[in-house]
Amino acid sequence: MTTALSVNLNKVALVRNTRHLGLPSVTRAAQLCLAAGAHGITVHPRPDARHIRPQDVHDLAALLRDWPEREYNIEGNPFHNLMDFVRQVRPHQVTFVPDSQDQFTSDHGWRFPADADRLRPLVAECHDLGVRVSLFMDPEPAQMAAARAVGADRVELYTEAYARAWGTPEQEAVLARYVAAGQAAREAGLDLNAGHDLNLDNLARFAHAVPDLREVSIGHALIGDALERGYAATVQAYLACLR
Protein backbone atom coordinates (compact mmCIF):
# COMPACT_ATOMS: atom_id res chain seq x y z
CA MET A 1 0.00 0.00 0.00
CA THR A 2 1.32 3.42 -0.97
CA THR A 3 1.03 6.08 1.71
CA ALA A 4 -0.76 9.15 0.34
CA LEU A 5 0.79 12.60 0.60
CA SER A 6 -1.60 15.44 1.38
CA VAL A 7 0.02 18.87 1.15
CA ASN A 8 -1.05 21.41 3.77
CA LEU A 9 -1.16 24.89 2.20
CA ASN A 10 -1.57 27.00 5.34
CA LYS A 11 1.93 28.46 5.11
CA VAL A 12 1.38 29.57 1.51
CA ALA A 13 -1.66 31.50 2.73
CA LEU A 14 0.30 32.92 5.65
CA VAL A 15 2.87 34.48 3.31
CA ARG A 16 0.14 35.75 0.98
CA ASN A 17 -1.64 37.46 3.86
CA THR A 18 1.34 39.74 4.56
CA ARG A 19 0.34 41.76 1.47
CA HIS A 20 -2.89 42.53 -0.39
CA LEU A 21 -1.81 41.26 -3.81
CA GLY A 22 -3.09 37.69 -3.67
CA LEU A 23 0.45 36.33 -4.02
CA PRO A 24 1.57 33.65 -3.61
CA SER A 25 -1.60 32.00 -4.84
CA VAL A 26 -2.97 29.17 -2.72
CA THR A 27 -4.84 27.64 -5.64
CA ARG A 28 -1.79 27.84 -7.90
CA ALA A 29 0.27 26.11 -5.22
CA ALA A 30 -2.37 23.38 -5.05
CA GLN A 31 -2.30 22.94 -8.82
CA LEU A 32 1.48 22.60 -8.88
CA CYS A 33 1.52 20.11 -6.00
CA LEU A 34 -1.22 17.99 -7.55
CA ALA A 35 0.48 18.07 -10.94
CA ALA A 36 3.67 16.83 -9.26
CA GLY A 37 1.84 13.82 -7.83
CA ALA A 38 0.48 14.86 -4.44
CA HIS A 39 -2.51 12.72 -3.52
CA GLY A 40 -4.44 15.50 -1.83
CA ILE A 41 -4.63 18.97 -0.36
CA THR A 42 -5.10 19.87 3.30
CA VAL A 43 -6.12 23.17 4.88
CA HIS A 44 -6.66 24.13 8.50
CA PRO A 45 -8.82 27.28 8.53
CA ARG A 46 -8.74 28.97 11.93
CA PRO A 47 -11.42 31.35 13.22
CA ASP A 48 -9.05 34.34 13.02
CA ALA A 49 -8.23 33.57 9.34
CA ARG A 50 -4.54 34.12 10.07
CA HIS A 51 -3.67 32.00 7.04
CA ILE A 52 -6.41 30.07 5.21
CA ARG A 53 -9.46 32.27 4.59
CA PRO A 54 -13.03 31.12 3.94
CA GLN A 55 -12.71 31.93 0.24
CA ASP A 56 -9.65 29.66 0.02
CA VAL A 57 -11.70 26.74 1.34
CA HIS A 58 -14.26 27.23 -1.42
CA ASP A 59 -11.71 27.94 -4.17
CA LEU A 60 -9.81 24.76 -3.36
CA ALA A 61 -13.03 22.73 -3.28
CA ALA A 62 -13.77 23.96 -6.80
CA LEU A 63 -10.23 23.17 -7.93
CA LEU A 64 -10.32 19.64 -6.52
CA ARG A 65 -13.39 18.87 -8.60
CA ASP A 66 -11.04 18.92 -11.60
CA TRP A 67 -8.86 16.29 -9.90
CA PRO A 68 -11.35 13.51 -9.14
CA GLU A 69 -8.68 11.03 -8.04
CA ARG A 70 -7.29 13.39 -5.39
CA GLU A 71 -8.68 14.21 -1.96
CA TYR A 72 -9.56 17.34 -0.03
CA ASN A 73 -8.96 17.28 3.72
CA ILE A 74 -10.12 20.11 5.98
CA GLU A 75 -8.75 20.22 9.53
CA GLY A 76 -9.91 22.14 12.54
CA ASN A 77 -11.89 22.25 15.74
CA PRO A 78 -15.50 21.18 15.11
CA PHE A 79 -16.66 23.42 17.95
CA HIS A 80 -15.35 26.55 16.23
CA ASN A 81 -15.90 27.20 12.51
CA LEU A 82 -15.04 23.82 10.98
CA MET A 83 -18.51 22.34 10.63
CA ASP A 84 -19.72 25.30 8.55
CA PHE A 85 -17.06 24.47 5.96
CA VAL A 86 -17.88 20.77 6.07
CA ARG A 87 -21.55 21.47 5.40
CA GLN A 88 -20.76 23.89 2.59
CA VAL A 89 -18.10 22.01 0.60
CA ARG A 90 -18.32 18.37 1.79
CA PRO A 91 -14.63 17.47 1.55
CA HIS A 92 -13.49 13.89 1.19
CA GLN A 93 -12.14 13.94 4.74
CA VAL A 94 -12.42 16.12 7.80
CA THR A 95 -9.84 15.95 10.58
CA PHE A 96 -11.11 17.07 13.98
CA VAL A 97 -8.34 18.83 15.96
CA PRO A 98 -8.85 20.01 19.58
CA ASP A 99 -7.06 23.35 19.30
CA SER A 100 -8.10 26.61 20.92
CA GLN A 101 -8.96 29.71 18.90
CA ASP A 102 -5.70 31.49 19.77
CA GLN A 103 -3.43 28.44 19.72
CA PHE A 104 -0.11 28.91 17.90
CA THR A 105 -0.22 25.40 16.41
CA SER A 106 -1.89 22.08 17.16
CA ASP A 107 -0.21 20.46 20.15
CA HIS A 108 -2.34 17.61 21.51
CA GLY A 109 -4.99 15.09 20.57
CA TRP A 110 -8.52 14.34 21.73
CA ARG A 111 -8.99 12.67 25.12
CA PHE A 112 -11.44 9.93 25.93
CA PRO A 113 -13.83 9.48 27.61
CA ALA A 114 -13.82 13.25 28.24
CA ASP A 115 -14.50 14.26 24.62
CA ALA A 116 -16.67 11.32 23.56
CA ASP A 117 -20.19 12.64 24.09
CA ARG A 118 -19.62 15.95 22.33
CA LEU A 119 -17.78 14.43 19.38
CA ARG A 120 -20.19 11.60 18.62
CA PRO A 121 -23.04 13.66 17.07
CA LEU A 122 -20.63 15.69 14.95
CA VAL A 123 -18.98 12.55 13.60
CA ALA A 124 -22.44 11.22 12.75
CA GLU A 125 -23.35 14.46 10.96
CA CYS A 126 -20.20 14.25 8.84
CA HIS A 127 -21.07 10.69 7.88
CA ASP A 128 -24.56 11.82 6.88
CA LEU A 129 -22.87 14.35 4.58
CA GLY A 130 -20.70 11.63 3.06
CA VAL A 131 -17.51 12.89 4.70
CA ARG A 132 -14.87 10.60 6.21
CA VAL A 133 -13.79 11.55 9.75
CA SER A 134 -10.29 11.41 11.19
CA LEU A 135 -9.48 12.35 14.79
CA PHE A 136 -6.18 14.00 15.73
CA MET A 137 -4.74 11.77 18.46
CA ASP A 138 -1.66 11.38 20.61
CA PRO A 139 0.17 8.05 20.13
CA GLU A 140 -1.57 6.31 23.03
CA PRO A 141 -2.73 2.77 22.18
CA ALA A 142 -5.36 2.73 24.94
CA GLN A 143 -7.21 5.64 23.31
CA MET A 144 -7.72 4.05 19.89
CA ALA A 145 -10.74 1.87 20.65
CA ALA A 146 -12.46 4.89 22.20
CA ALA A 147 -11.84 6.89 19.03
CA ARG A 148 -13.50 4.17 17.03
CA ALA A 149 -16.40 4.03 19.50
CA VAL A 150 -17.40 7.63 18.70
CA GLY A 151 -17.59 6.67 15.01
CA ALA A 152 -14.23 7.83 13.64
CA ASP A 153 -13.02 6.24 10.42
CA ARG A 154 -9.38 7.16 10.93
CA VAL A 155 -7.01 8.68 13.45
CA GLU A 156 -4.21 11.08 12.62
CA LEU A 157 -1.29 10.42 14.93
CA TYR A 158 0.26 13.65 16.19
CA THR A 159 3.93 13.18 15.27
CA GLU A 160 5.59 16.14 16.99
CA ALA A 161 7.11 13.88 19.69
CA TYR A 162 8.69 11.70 17.01
CA ALA A 163 10.04 14.73 15.14
CA ARG A 164 11.47 16.18 18.35
CA ALA A 165 13.20 12.88 19.18
CA TRP A 166 14.64 12.45 15.68
CA GLY A 167 18.42 12.07 15.78
CA THR A 168 18.53 11.59 19.56
CA PRO A 169 19.06 8.41 21.61
CA GLU A 170 15.30 8.39 22.29
CA GLN A 171 14.35 8.19 18.61
CA GLU A 172 13.62 4.48 18.34
CA ALA A 173 11.83 4.27 21.68
CA VAL A 174 9.55 7.12 20.68
CA LEU A 175 8.97 5.58 17.26
CA ALA A 176 7.94 2.35 18.97
CA ARG A 177 5.09 4.26 20.64
CA TYR A 178 3.74 5.17 17.22
CA VAL A 179 4.07 1.62 15.96
CA ALA A 180 2.09 0.41 18.99
CA ALA A 181 -0.55 3.11 18.56
CA GLY A 182 -0.89 2.23 14.89
CA GLN A 183 -1.36 -1.42 15.71
CA ALA A 184 -4.01 -0.55 18.30
CA ALA A 185 -5.79 1.64 15.77
CA ARG A 186 -5.91 -1.14 13.21
CA GLU A 187 -7.15 -3.62 15.81
CA ALA A 188 -9.93 -1.15 16.66
CA GLY A 189 -10.97 -0.96 13.00
CA LEU A 190 -9.44 2.43 12.26
CA ASP A 191 -7.34 3.50 9.31
CA LEU A 192 -4.21 5.46 10.08
CA ASN A 193 -3.00 8.95 9.13
CA ALA A 194 -0.12 10.94 10.61
CA GLY A 195 1.16 14.48 10.65
CA HIS A 196 2.98 17.36 12.36
CA ASP A 197 6.63 18.27 11.83
CA LEU A 198 7.34 15.41 9.44
CA ASN A 199 10.07 16.35 6.95
CA LEU A 200 12.52 14.97 4.40
CA ASP A 201 14.86 13.78 7.15
CA ASN A 202 12.44 11.88 9.37
CA LEU A 203 9.59 10.85 7.06
CA ALA A 204 10.97 7.71 5.44
CA ARG A 205 11.88 6.06 8.76
CA PHE A 206 8.42 6.75 10.14
CA ALA A 207 6.52 5.63 7.05
CA HIS A 208 8.45 2.39 6.78
CA ALA A 209 8.19 1.58 10.50
CA VAL A 210 4.46 2.19 10.98
CA PRO A 211 2.53 -0.44 9.00
CA ASP A 212 -0.55 0.38 6.93
CA LEU A 213 -0.06 4.14 7.09
CA ARG A 214 -2.73 5.52 4.77
CA GLU A 215 -1.82 9.22 4.62
CA VAL A 216 0.59 11.85 5.86
CA SER A 217 -0.33 15.52 5.93
CA ILE A 218 2.71 17.79 5.62
CA GLY A 219 2.81 21.55 5.36
CA HIS A 220 5.41 23.57 7.23
CA ALA A 221 8.52 21.64 6.19
CA LEU A 222 7.29 20.94 2.68
CA ILE A 223 6.50 24.57 1.92
CA GLY A 224 9.84 25.59 3.42
CA ASP A 225 11.62 23.10 1.17
CA ALA A 226 9.64 24.37 -1.82
CA LEU A 227 11.15 27.84 -1.35
CA GLU A 228 14.49 26.29 -2.31
CA ARG A 229 13.51 23.40 -4.59
CA GLY A 230 10.23 24.50 -6.12
CA TYR A 231 6.89 22.76 -5.62
CA ALA A 232 7.36 19.96 -8.16
CA ALA A 233 10.79 18.80 -7.01
CA THR A 234 9.76 19.06 -3.36
CA VAL A 235 6.59 17.02 -3.75
CA GLN A 236 8.51 14.39 -5.68
CA ALA A 237 11.14 14.22 -2.93
CA TYR A 238 8.46 13.63 -0.29
CA LEU A 239 6.78 11.01 -2.45
CA ALA A 240 10.13 9.23 -2.75
CA CYS A 241 10.29 9.02 1.06
CA LEU A 242 6.94 7.22 1.04
CA ARG A 243 7.90 4.54 -1.48
Tell me how many degrees the CA angle 143-147-148 measures, rounded to the nearest 5.
Answer: 120
Q: Among all residues, which ones are annotated catalytic?
A: 44, 75, 196
E strands of the chain, at which residues?
4-8, 40-43, 71-76, 93-96, 132-137, 154-158, 191-195, 213-218
| Angle between helix 220-229 and 231-242 (nearest 10) | 130
Provide the 3-class DSSP secondary structure of residue 154. Answer: strand
Write out the H or E segment, with its range, that includes residue 220.
helix 220-229
CA–CA distance, 179 with 68 (Å, rounded to integer): 32
Structural contact between residues 144 and 104, judged by C-beta atoms closer than 8 angstroms: no
Tally the residues of the chain.
243
Q: 106 burial class (0-12, 13-18, 19+ CB within 10 angstroms)?
A: buried
Residue whose C-alpha is closest to residue 10's, from 240, 221, 229? 221
Q: Three-state secondary structure along 41-71?
A: EEECCCCCCCCCCHHHHHHHHHHHCCCCCCE
Residue 168 gets which letter from DSSP?
A: S
